[in-house]
Amino acid sequence: MFSRAFVSITTLAIAYAKATTRTMQVHDVRSTAPTTFTSLGAAPADMVLTVKVQVAQNDIAGLEKALMDVSTPGNALYGQHLSKEELESYTAPKAESLDAVTAWLKENDIEASSASPAGDWLSFDVPVSKANEIFDADYTVFKHTGGRELIRTLSYSVPEDLAAHIDVIHPSNTFAIASPAAAFKAIQAQPSASNGNLTSRGVPYSCASTVTPACLQAMYGIPTTAIGEKTNVLAVSGFIDMWANEADLKSFLSTFRKDLSSSTTFALQTLDGGSNPQTPRSSAGTEANLDIQYTVGLASPVPVTFVSVGEDNSDGTFGSLDMINYFLNMSTTPTVLSISYGVDETDLSPSMAKSICNAYMALGARGTSILFASGDGGVAGGQFGEQSQNCTVFVPSFPPSCPYVTSVGATTGIVETAADFSSGGFSNVFGRPSYQSSAVSSYLSALGSTNTGRFNTTGRGFPDVSTQGVNFEIVLDARRVLVNGTSCSTPTFASVVALLNDELIAAGKSPLGFLNPFLYSTAGAAALTDVTSGSNPGCGTDGFPATVGWDPVTGLGTPNYAALRTAVGL
């Protein structure tokens, strides 16, 4: 008995010594919170935080190579997207990393549970006082100008011997609050005269003032019929209590897609307490209605799923990661994911931005085309109204700056020009990917000394493509209204990809998956219509000019469905 007690006491003493003598190392730090946040003082010591720790993944470099192999036309592995098990051989943490991090948490009386399919994320609840202690942190209440409060710390530390085993801890010094990339125009859309066409492509006269599905079908050659392959699913994300109303969709289809049954609808998936209430009808969100009406309205009968993520996890970080992890846990992932929300790249810590971006890489390797609205602040950030902010350097938007997603900018006019709000530029976190090296180099060479010192010349350039983004008619609370934004452009391009996938799957071929290597290829770029006029002003400048070839306003250009169909081998 004595011997056993002695061993137990000794073991506890060793554990205590480890917990109190570890050398801590600052793992991430930022000097100040973003200017949109104000400190309200220390977070209450007894407030419970749900903390998530990402353990270093096994082989991210190998995953990137695998993604490029299955996504690059001409590669022997093109189209052979990874299975769930194949993906997790790259993303699962090494046993020694997981064991080391788990042991450290246990030393601090913390039992963590797995929070991702690959087991790389661990989750646990602790009071603020405990989080401050184990991370050498100073968790504080910060209030956003929009009214929302976040608990964050400007810096945190981990044991020195665990630094290589931990990628990121959340919540910490990321201050992102997701915002939709659309602006509601509070005017009643009036029926326009539609007799006659503006162009030989059959673009109706009415399209000069308002954009409808018929306008987009005529401008881009989008087909009005599809096969509706069951394995071809177009997923649409919903955040910050933006809900898609079925009655408004029915009205929209009755008005603008009379060839479709007005009962055509969407499937619903909820995460993190998300919902999609239908009453009162006025609870519908502009963003959600826009996204659903222009995916169901353009891509049907391709199945569309609306993914509603709860408010508590809609801060631009874990709401997004939870959604991606939900898809990664599926045996068959959606073929297309359309997301019209974003933040400024400066709102995230670089480590969190990389972690989220790597999650998109993983989903792309599974065969999902991920499309993000590039943002609506020109070169001054992701949101409308930011073009004139007092900035001395350009502000990239995220996730559009992630190299593993396809970023969609906005155009306007029948003879298309760049919409002046279309966000675009160069990442300060992610380097320029090889697939766009030639296109971006050519643009920078032509740009010369314009905007020197205001952007990162070696960063990932965005957007990649564009479509119309001004004066889209939607139905909102039974009224026909107009909206602007790259939020209009993204579901449009996503629908084009979904329709191409529908034909590919019907022909026994793989869906397109990660698009960018194809889009920047000679065949892909040639299947897009170059937009060569306009710019995206901001920060007291004219921003970047659109020009021949790729540019950080409209990307490679707008879709030509017939040409894209040929380019993908149909």
pLDDT digits (tens, 9 = 90+) for 223-245: 998 898 989 999 999 988 889 99
Distance of CA 539 to the CA centre of its chain: 24
465 Cα distance to chain centroid: 15
- The tens digit of pLDDT for each residue in 366-394 reads 999 999 999 999 999 877 666 667 789 99
124-147 average pLDDT score: 95
Residues 231 and 311 in one domain: yes
- Which region among 55-59, 271-275, 334-338 has the lowest average model confidence (pLDDT)? 271-275
One domain, residues 212 and 126: no
Which pLDDT belongs to residue 36? Answer: 86
Least confident segment among 47-51, 146-150, 280-284: 280-284
| CB of 169 closer than 8 Å to CB of 53 | yes
Are 110 and 195 contained in the same domain? Answer: no
Establish if 469 belongs to a structural domain: yes
Q: Are residues 279 and 233 in the same domain?
A: yes
Task: Give the CA distances from residue 167 to residues 59, 99, 158, 352, in Å, rounded to whole numbers and listed in that order.
Answer: 13, 15, 11, 8
- Report the catalytic residues: 287, 291, 487
Assign residue 87 a region: left if phi > 0, alpha if psi is -120 to 50, beta otherwise? alpha
Number of domains in the chain: 2
Let me know if residue 65 belongs to a domain.
no
- The whole-number pLDDT of residue 438 equals 98
Contact 341, 239 (CB under 8 A): yes
Residues counted in the chain: 570
DSSP secondary structure of 371-414: EEE--SSGGG-SSTT-TTS--SS---EETTT-TTSEEEEEEETT
Higher model confidence: residue 189 or residue 260?
260
Nearest to 116 by CA among 382, 318, 316, 276: 318
Residues 127, 210 share a domain? no
Residue 271 and residue 401 in one domain: yes
**Residue 133 and residue 100 share a domain:** yes
Q: Over pLDDT 90: what percentage of the chain?
A: 81
Identify whether 80 is part of a domain: no
Do the domain assignments include residue 544?
yes
- Token digits for 344? 């400024």
The verdict on 501 and 456 lying in the same domain is yes
- What local confidence, expressed as pLDDT, does residue 390 receive? 79
Residue 55, strand partner residues: 166
Maximum CA pair distance of the chain?
A: 98
What's residue 196's pLDDT? 55
Domain with 102, as residue range(s), is 19-57+92-170
Last residue of a domain, one of 113, 136, 170: 170
Residue 32 has pLDDT above 60, yes or no: yes
10-19, 102-111, 282-291, 471-480: the lowest-pLDDT one: 10-19
Asked whether residue 198 carries a pLDDT value surpassing 90, the answer given is no
Mean pLDDT over 1-15 rounds to 37
Task: Answer yes or no: do 144 and 196 share one domain.
Answer: no
- Residue-level pLDDT at 17: 42
**pLDDT value at residue 385:** 64
**Same domain flag for 185 and 303:** yes
Count of Cβ atoms closer than 10 Å to residue 452 Cβ: 9
Q: Is 52 exposed, middle or buried (CB count within 10 Å of its CB: 0-12, 13-18, 19+)?
A: buried
Least confident span in 68-77, 178-187, 472-481: 178-187
Q: What is the pLDDT of residue 250?
A: 98
Q: Is residue 70 part of a domain?
A: no
Q: Answer with the one of 170, 190, 212 that is the final residue of a domain.
A: 170
Q: Please name which of 380, 357, 352 lies closest in space to residue 370, comparing C-alpha atoms.
A: 357
- Answer whether residue 78 is part of any domain: no
- Residue 489 pLDDT > 70: yes
181, 376 Cβ separation under 8 angstroms? yes
Cα gap 527→222, rounded to integer Å:
13
Please give the residue that has the higher pLDDT: either 10 or 60: 60
Give the three-state DSSP class for 244. Answer: coil
Residue 108 lies in a domain: yes
Residue 509 domain-assigned (yes or no): yes
Q: Note whether 39 and 147 are same-domain residues.
A: yes
The proportion of the chain whose per-residue pLDDT surpasses 70, expressed as a percent, equals 91
Residue 1: pLDDT band with limits 50, 70, 90: very low
**What integer pLDDT is reported at residue 14 of this predicted model?**
41
- The average pLDDT across 191-208 equals 66
Same domain flag for 294 and 382: yes
d(C-alpha 139, C-alpha 499), whole Å: 47
Please tell me the pTM assigned to this model: 0.93
The enclosing domain of 480 has a CATH number of 3.40.50.200
**Domain end call among 170, 197, 223:** 170
Write the Ramachandran bin of 453: left for phi over 0, alpha for psi from -120 to 50, otherwise beta. left
